[in-house]
Amino acid sequence: MIETCMSTFSRSDRKRADIVDAAERLFLGEGYGAISMDRIAAEAAASKRTVYNHFATKEELFRAVVERLYTAVLDGAAVPAVGGTAAEVLRGFAEAVVAHMTRPRFQALIRLVIAENVRFPEITSIYFAAGKEPAVGRLSTWLAEEARAGRLAVDNPTLAAQQFFGSIKEPLFWPRLLGLETLHEPGIVIENAVTIFLARYGRPLIP
Amino acid sequence: MIETCMSTFSRSDRKRADIVDAAERLFLGEGYGAISMDRIAAEAAASKRTVYNHFATKEELFRAVVERLYTAVLDGAAVPAVGGTAAEVLRGFAEAVVAHMTRPRFQALIRLVIAENVRFPEITSIYFAAGKEPAVGRLSTWLAEEARAGRLAVDNPTLAAQQFFGSIKEPLFWPRLLGLETLHEPGIVIENAVTIFLARYGRPLIP
DNA sequence: TATGCACTACACTGTGCAGTGTACATACGC
DNA sequence: GCGTATGTACACTGCACAGTGTAGTGCATA
């Protein structure tokens, strides 16, 4: 279909986006099973038939929603700078992760992934690609470089990276997923995590 | 109803237990919404009518399942000893938490809590009462005592406890909930966590 | 203004499921 | 063995929902 229209998006494209918007809102709020196609149509101010003209089945619409969330969540993830002292770099990673995890859309996505990973096992890759891999991968690469350069005593970079993130996510992120309050200020959590990490690793490797 | 029978459990009690057993198996495996009362009745080798004679609604049955899981999960949680060196105590807590988290029943329960905490907000208290509170509470109490006695430099016991558990659960527990493999051996994760923790806190508080 | 495409309204099918009603069978206490 | 408790078989209601079919409306482009 060639775009001859002046506006970037055709009427069809706009309706489609309305539908995915509505579906995202509802799925993230109440889960896949709890939402009917009728409610999605109403929320999108569209006819049910239009919804089915764009997406043949509810599953197909769900996958489209998750796929779009995938890119949206990745786009929003700030990549921390790796200049400065070790403490500054670690703080940068920690702050990026906190900012990432605090987004309601990310939290709702993770909840959805956990809830639906029996029915839709493929969507697990989203958590991996959009959350775990970029963060842990980048930090552990940096840790490995610092260790090779003799500036940090890290022997197992991927484990060290996971444990660092764990000491931040455990008080700030996971309780929220279960509907519990978080008890500690992000700033304090981050400072503690950085201090603990450097108390162990913040010296050259013994040769 | 007074028990005049020689056996501890009446026929009614046994059927009821069969039903809760079956419901637990199915709910934990596929979630609340995906399981019908017909399937529960079949799995329990009971008539559907019998199921409804014991539990007026599906919700009531679900609550009974979660309630029983609550006590089952609590019973299974070994309480670590608090004698010996700090490293030994920490290792004891870590091993207890790993053993607890590794149980398929606990993992399935947490998945259920996360998946259904929109529909059933009360069940969140189970995770808190059966997992987080006993573990974090006991460790942070012990840390506070050690700090008061001048043996550890812990300033914020509840945060320190959470961060310690986080450095263990992040590599070993949470990925499993999302259908990902865990990459590290529990023994190595625990040793690393203890070493990191003591590198920071394993000295008297500066007065 | 004419043409065609996308959206709408709405009625409809079929299915699965929560929950009920009833007539009958079986176990258990006495 | 008798009577009540409890379980079973099964048919049934009502509803919500996924998905379809159709006739008609509105809107963008030529």
pLDDT, one tens digit per residue, over B79-119 is: 787 888 999 999 999 999 999 899 999 999 999 999 998 88
Q: Which of residues 36-65 of B touch strand C (CB under 7 A)?
A: 36-39, 48-49, 52, 56-59
Q: By mean pLDDT, which of A8-17, A105-114, A169-178, B124-133 is the weakest?
A: B124-133
Q: Sort out which chain B residues have CB atoms less than 8 A from A111's CB and list them.
A: 114-115
The pLDDT, as a whole number, for residue A204 is 57
Checking if the pLDDT of B207 tops 50, the result is no
CB-contacts to strand D (7 A): A 4-7, 11, 35-39, 48-49, 52, 56-59; B 1, 10-12, 15-16, 45-50, 53-54
C-alpha pair distances (Å), B134 with each of A18, B4, B125, B162, B163 = 46, 39, 12, 12, 15
The pLDDT, as a whole number, for residue B70 is 82
- Residue with the bigger pLDDT between B127 and B188: it is B188
The pLDDT, as a whole number, for residue A3 is 39
Mean pLDDT of A196-201: 96
The pLDDT, as a whole number, for residue B22 is 97
C-alpha pair distances (Å), A200 with each of A147, A186, B5, B153, B172 = 13, 22, 64, 15, 21
| Mean confidence (pLDDT) of chain A | 89
Checking if the pLDDT of B135 tops 70, the result is yes
Q: How far apart are CA B66 and CA A72, in angstroms?
A: 36
| Angstrom distance, A115 CA to C16 C1' | 22
| Angstrom distance, A2 CA to C10 C1' | 33
Convert A16-31 to b/e letters by CB count within 10 Å (16 or more is b): bebbbebbbbbbbeeb
Q: How far apart are CA B41 and CA B54, in angstroms?
A: 12
pLDDT digits (tens, 9 = 90+) for B34-76: 999 999 999 999 999 999 999 999 999 999 999 999 888 777 7
| Smallest CA–CA distance from A176 into chain B, residue | B114
Mean pLDDT of A117-133: 82
Reported confidence tier of residue B3, pLDDT bands at 50, 70, 90: very low
For CA atoms B20, B22, B25, B27, the dihedral sign is negative
DSSP string, B164-205: HHHHHHHHHTHHHHTTPPP-S-HHHHHHHHHHHHHHHHSSPP
Nucleic strand C near CB of residue A68 (< 7 Å): no
The pLDDT, as a whole number, for residue B5 is 38
pLDDT digits (tens, 9 = 90+) for A56-95: 999 999 999 999 998 887 777 777 878 889 999 999 999 9
- Residue with the bigger pLDDT between A183 and B5: it is A183
Q: Sort out which chain B residues have CB atoms less than 8 A from A128's CB and list them.
A: 178, 180
Query: How many residues appear in chain B?
Result: 207
State the Cα angle at B43 between B42 and B44, rounded to 5°.
Answer: 90
Of all residues in chain B, the percent with pLDDT exceeding 90 is 69
| Mean confidence (pLDDT) of chain B | 89
The pLDDT, as a whole number, for residue A7 is 60
Is the CB of A183 less than 8 angstroms away from the CB of B158? yes
Q: Using alpha carbons, select from A143, A129, A158 the residue that is nearest to residue A201.
A: A143
Reported confidence tier of residue A4, pLDDT bands at 50, 70, 90: very low
Q: Using alpha carbons, select from A154, A162, A142, A158 the residue that is nearest to residue A81.
A: A142
The pLDDT, as a whole number, for residue A2 is 35
Q: How far apart are CA B179 and CA B128, in angstroms?
A: 23
Strand C positions within 7 A of protein Cβ atoms = 5-11, 16-23, 27-30
Q: Which of residues 94-133 of A touch strand C (CB under 7 A)?
A: none
Q: Tell me the two tokens of residue A114.
A: 């956990």
Of A114, A188, A197, the CB nearest to B177: A114
